[in-house]
Amino acid sequence: VEIKNHLRSWYLETAQKLAEEEAAKEDCDSETLYNLASSLRKQGKHADALKMFERCLILTVAKHGEEHDATASVRSQMGIVMKTLGEYDAALQMYEKCLRIQVASLGLHPSTASTYNNMGLIYNSKGEY
């Protein structure tokens, strides 16, 4: 078990190092940035994750446009990170933009419901019932 944990730790550290090197390149793609940002968020490195998601959003909008599902996904992830950082108003703005895309493209869908739920959690955290 100890060896397995050591190998798992080494693998994760190596994968993150490679992803960070890739993200440092000027021609890095939005998918790599999204994956690295998600990894950073899961590790609790929220400020770093937000910076990576911001870069990812720029590339995603340039590639797919403002009204694409991929753009909504990045905005949703940014909302999660912003809420965690206590940036409630900024998170709500991200979720509102995400929701606009989801309602137009997906209608009633689990992703749309999740965004409504996340917005409700923020209003609850703000004490706005």
pLDDT mean over 50-62: 96
At 104, the pLDDT band (50, 70, 90 cuts) reads: very high
Amino acid 22: pLDDT: 73
Predicted confidence band of residue 53 (pLDDT cuts 50, 70, 90)? very high
More confident residue, 22 or 108: 108
pLDDT in the model for residue 34:
94
State pTM to two decimals: 0.84
Residues 6+ apart with CB under 8 A from 70: 30, 60, 63, 64
pLDDT for 26 equals: 72
Contact of 95 with 115, CB cutoff 8 Å: yes
